[in-house]
Amino acid sequence: MLPTIAWQEDDIVMVDQRKLPAAEIYVTCKSVNDVAKAIKTMVIRGAPAIGVCAAMGLALGAARSKATGTKQFTTEFQRNCELLAATRPTAVNLFWAIERMKQAFSAGALAGESVAQLTARLRAAADRIHDDDVASCRAIGAYGAALVPEVANILTHCNAGALATAGYGTALGVIRGAVEAGRKVKVLADETRPFLQGARLTAWELVKDGIDTTVITDNMAGAMMRTGQVDLVVVGADRIAANGDTANKIGTYSVAVLAKEHGIPFYVAAPWSTIDLSTKDGDGIPIEERNAREVTHVGNTQLAPEGAHVRNPSFDVTPNKYVTAIITERGVFRPPFVESLAASEPAMAQSAVDN
Ligand code: MRU
């Protein structure tokens, strides 16, 4: 099996996540327009994977450019950045990755590099973003494993797995890390209406890994908690504000409130690229509203009648008071997050200097 996203010669290949698990089909992107479409239509999804994909898309756009001079090449690069930035609004990793690519471009332009040199530089930057993401997930898995008891029933929502990252996963990274550390883990996967990332993708990944997985409908989580069948919750994130308020797949907030009511730890696992210190709190996080058809239909089967109004906010915000800890590649952050996350800022400033 190919990884979530990979180069194939100068094309980008990714598994079509809309089709899993019924079919394992691979989509080939040959242009930056193909990449933007793949992100928008959720061929590829999950905050870190979206960021990695956008970075690779910018490298692809550069490689395919017919520009003969740096002026035209720069204009095209800027246009490609705008195109990709307009695909999905909530996952901050998208904007983080585009920013990293812009920094790489600027460094090359400042050094007076040619179109060919800039193209090579963008490819190297995209590859680094890809590889760093896998390394971050592995570190998240190791930090998170330490929080998992010897025997644990773990509930997760949506898919924050290998498919949602460049590999290994964030929330599923914690689960994989715990299993690798010898914990006896059973997973409850919320199906995650309306796109069914839990039932389709999380279950697919975990079953492939031989991890005991039970799919439940979203409205079963409360009953599972009340009857003692959940020891901890771990989810991913699309954007974490400076105060720890966390945007993640719609339904995460309900799970977090239920967890608090039942005294169950609620962990958020995410790479540092998901942390947005420039957004003060959850009210500042844009929430994507997706097509009504995702709610009214399953495949070609219509569930809701014509004429009914439909809402489809794709994400919700979990206020920081429900979050027990945030697990990142830099370690485990505890409340008050506004202080603990900011304390890691000097390291971020340093890594910006290093790049
Ligand atoms: O709409 P999606 O499938 O892109 O939403 C994905 C999620 O909400 C994930 O939990 C989040 O992006 C973290 S993925 C490591």
Measure Cα distances from 78 to 58, 67, 113, 306 in Å.
10, 13, 17, 42
Peptide bond into 271 cis (omega under 30): no
Which residues form the catalytic set? 238
Rounded CA-CA distance 133/131 in Å is 5
SS3 state of residue 327: strand
- Residue 161 CA, closest ligand 1 atom number: 15
Render 110-163 in DSSP notation, one character per residue: HTT--HHHHHHHHHHHHHHHHHHHHHHHHHHHHHHHTTS-SEEEEEE-S--SGG
CA of 287 to the centre of ligand 1 (A): 12
SS3 state of residue 313: strand
CB 231 within 8 A of CB 187: no
CA of 66 to the centre of ligand 1 (A): 35
- The tokens for 219 are 């409205």
Strand partners, 234: 267
Which residues are CB-contacts of 33 (< 8 A; sequence separation ≥ 6)? 83
Q: Which protein residue's CA is at the shortest distance from atom 5 of ligand 1?
A: 46
Measure Cα distances from 101 to 97, 123, 313 in Å.
6, 9, 29
Strand 266-269, strand 232-235: pairing: parallel
Rounded CA-CA distance 37/17 in Å is 13
Residue 2: predicted pLDDT = 56
Residue 350: predicted pLDDT = 43
- The tokens for 3 are 């990884």
Position 235: which residue type?
V
Alpha carbon distance, N-terminus to C-terminus of the chain:
32
Residue 355: predicted pLDDT = 43
CA of 6 to the centre of ligand 1 (A): 19
Rounded CA-CA distance 69/59 in Å is 17
- Residue 274 CA, closest ligand 1 atom number: 13
Render 252-311 in DSSP notation, one character per residue: HHHHHHHHHHTT--EEEE--GGGEETTS-SGGGS---B--THHHHEETTEE-S-TT----
CA of 164 to the centre of ligand 1 (A): 7
Residue 351: predicted pLDDT = 46
Residue 347: predicted pLDDT = 53
Q: Which pairs from 220-228 meet CB under 8 Å and 24+ separation?
A: 221/155, 221/188, 221/190, 221/254, 221/255, 221/258, 222/258, 224/155, 224/188, 225/155, 225/258, 225/259, 225/261, 225/262, 225/264, 226/262
Q: For ligand 1, which residues put their CB under 6 angstroms from it?
A: 45-48, 91, 158, 160, 164-165, 170, 197, 236-238, 248-249, 314
Residue 3: predicted pLDDT = 78
pLDDT tens string for the chain (355 positions)?
A: 457 999 999 999 999 999 999 999 999 999 999 999 999 999 999 999 999 999 999 999 999 999 999 999 999 999 999 999 999 999 999 999 999 999 999 999 999 999 999 999 999 999 999 999 999 999 999 999 999 999 999 999 999 999 999 999 999 999 999 999 999 999 999 999 999 999 999 999 999 999 999 999 999 999 999 999 999 999 999 999 999 999 999 999 999 999 999 999 999 999 999 999 999 999 999 999 999 999 999 989 999 999 999 999 999 999 999 999 999 999 999 999 999 999 997 554 344 345 4
Q: Which protein residue's CA is at the shortest distance from atom 8 of ligand 1?
A: 249
Strand 212-216, strand 275-276: pairing: unpaired
What's the pTM? 0.96
Burial 32-41 (b: 16+ CB within 10 A, else e): bebbbebbee
Measure Cα distances from 334 to 61, 268, 269, 326, 343 in Å.
41, 11, 12, 7, 12
Residue 345: predicted pLDDT = 77
Rounded CA-CA distance 182/202 in Å is 21
